[in-house]
Structure 1
Amino acid sequence: MKKILIQLDTDSLPSSFDRVVAVDAGVDELFSYGGVTPDNVETLVHGAIFTRKPSDLVNTAIFVGGSNVAAGEALLKAVTKSLFGPFKVSVMMDSNGSNTTAAATVLAASRHLDLSKTTAVVLGGTGPVGSRVAQLLLQQGATVRLASRSLERSTATCAGLKEIADVSKLSPHESQSDAGLAAACEGVDLVVAAGAAKTRLINAEQLSKISTLKVAIDLNAVAPAGIEGIEVMDKAREAGQTILYGAVGVGGTKMKIHYAAVRKLFTSNTLVLDTAAIYDLGASLS
């Protein structure tokens, strides 16, 4: 029986990136739909679960994607709500690559740090990738400072993380001012820059003042770098006492996780591959 992946994209045009990865991951048939919302998804889900016997539904799976991560999260909830009893298929959510990128980032850091003893600052932490990096670091026992140009936004994001992680080691910070950035970075072992493309979040001089820094990861692939001095191709490059990763340096692991996650969907019909599940899968590949 053929393996069918149903791509539900919140954008009007389904992502060509996600389509290529699905094909390269070995999917036999790929059905792609754009403009999918929680209001119109139920019919698509029912079409997936009622056309095959429950025992054959392991060969059908759903991928939720799109550029809007909040819309993807809402769509994932609607999809899982539409599944019931034996009529279930496995589902993966990776809107804008947020989950696979966050997983690859934290795994890169874990190669050099004991995360349970790590203090980290996530710059651009209110974005979809940054908030997920913070979530995963917390779930590995790290102390996390979530920094944003707006303390209000940082505080709101920290409050949202209470629903999915132990936030006793989480604190909000503003990084707009030099003093705020310095306070957020003081004494940290790990700096992750997860801001928008073309946005410099910390310069080389500011980075050099973090005497405790062991690992710095910049997820911005478009110049200027989010962390000045990190090149996009850096992969565990040593710079004094600090290990550096750029976006492409992390990207290789991100792609491996994405491929593996698509394949994993067809090992069961009850999986929900969200942020934490995708991280666990990535860890199993190491």
Structure 2
Amino acid sequence: MERPYILHMLTPGRQMSPFDINMAADAGYQLLPTYTDVTLDGVAGLTQDAIFSRGPKGVARTGIFIGGRDVILAADMLKRAQKSMVPPFVVSLMADPSGSYTTAAAMVACVEAKLKERGEALAGQRILILGGTGTVGRIAAVLAARCGAEVRMSSRQGIDTAEHAAQETGARFGVTLHGISGGDREAVRRSLAEADVLLAVAAAGVQVVSGEDLAQAGGALKVAADVNAVPPEGVAGVGVMDDGKPLAGTSAVGIGALAVGNVKYQTQHRLLVRMRESDKPVVLGFDEAFEVARAVLAEKKS
């Protein structure tokens, strides 16, 4: 009898995301045990329990997925699991806390594609991330910075919170990020006036940029992307289905939540399938997600 495909799903939270469980099942994994309240120190033991119990042939049908809501902790857990392997007992690994790695990858790739249509790249762009201290915002900031953009992360809690998140995230992932205040309308409008690209990644159902705010963007804004699918839209005038639609009152185009979400879904699915089908163990994080998101968009264009 063939051994089943098992994906051990670890989270530091109280429950594993049903979204991720569904995605893993649709990618062909047959058994999806979940482990909650997992600490960083607990990763090694769980990893070694998973690998030693199946033998060299069984590990080829075994994977480990790391969820949660903390992007830095997830990256650390991924690294800890990787270091816990004992060849030839090595399995594939993937992290995607709160879907942030794949969502951020999809968002930045979508923005990059729209800039390319203008004959431009991410390098040198001034990117404003509203809600930038959250899960998606932090990883979007890292990806954009690695592409050469100047990234400013905004927080509604003020400059201190934003700057702390920027320094913490930048130090962990080796990039330079800047924190700015988003605590009042004037602060948001000042930031918009200097931005080439706007990424809205605040909480669902919260409008972070109104039509009046957009009027302050001036002629510099080129792309505005929003991942909020719950009314009202996070950026006034950016519909959930928009995929390069001109944004009224600006020189920018808008990218809506479902346009980003479609790329995110395909990206996560492909990564999970890659884990299951790979002849050799793979380790998948947000860099690999960005690579796949770019490929999804390239295929769409061709």
State whether TM-score is above 0.5: yes
* 1:101 pairs with 2:103: yes
Give the structure 1 partner of residue 118 of structure 2: none
Task: Note the alpha carbon deviations across 1:5-25, whole angstroms, 9 max, x for none.
Answer: 111233333322111111111
Shift of 1:214: 1.4
Count of matched residue positions in the alignment of Structure 1 and Structure 2:
284
Shift of 1:181: 1.8
Give the structure 1 partner of residue 143 of structure 2: 136
Q: Structure 1 stretches of 5 or more lacking a match?
A: none
* 1:249 pairs with 2:259: yes
Over aligned residue pairs, what C-alpha RMSD do you find? 2.2
Equivalent position amino acid for 2:240 in 1: V
* % same residue: 32
Equivalent position amino acid for 1:177 in 2: D
- Classify 1:125/1:164 alpha carbon distance in 2 versus 1 (closer, same or farther; 3 Å): same
The separation in 2 between residues aligned to 1:144 and 1:191, in whole angstroms, is 10
Shift of 1:232: 2.4
Greater CA deviation, 95-104 or 218-227? 218-227
The separation in 2 between residues aligned to 1:192 and 1:40, in whole angstroms, is 35
Contact 2:192 2:216 in 1 (8 A): no
Shift of 1:83: 2.1
Equivalent position amino acid for 2:7 in 1: L
The separation in 2 between residues aligned to 1:230 and 1:91, in whole angstroms, is 36
* 1:35 pairs with 2:37: yes
Which of 195, 203, 211 is the matching residue for 2:210?
203
SS in 2 for 1:191: strand
Which of 191, 197, 218 is the matching residue for 1:184?
191
Contact 1:138 1:165 in 2 (8 A): no
Task: Note the alpha carbon deviations across 1:157-195, whole angstroms, 9 max, x for none.
Answer: 22121331331xx32211223332233222322100111
Shift of 1:131: 0.9
Give the structure 2 partner of residue 216 of structure 1: 224
Greater CA deviation, 32-41 or 136-145? 32-41
Give the structure 1 partner of residue 284 of structure 2: 273
Task: Note the alpha carbon deviations across 1:205-240, whole angstroms, 9 max, x for none.
Answer: 211321211111111222232212222232322235
Q: Structure 2 stretches of 5 or more lacking a match?
A: 116-120
The separation in 1 between residues aligned to 2:136 and 2:5, in whole angstroms, is 30
The separation in 1 between residues aligned to 2:139 and 2:255, in whole angstroms, is 18
The separation in 1 between residues aligned to 2:178 and 2:29, in whole angstroms, is 42
Give the structure 1 partner of residue 174 of structure 2: 165
TM-score (norm 2): 0.85
Give the structure 2 partner of residue 53 of structure 1: 55
* 1:86 pairs with 2:88: yes
SS in 2 for 1:146: strand
- Classify 1:171/1:38 alpha carbon distance in 2 versus 1 (closer, same or farther; 3 Å): closer
Greater CA deviation, 185-194 or 260-269? 260-269
The separation in 2 between residues aligned to 1:24 and 1:84, in whole angstroms, is 29
Contact 2:17 2:98 in 1 (8 A): no
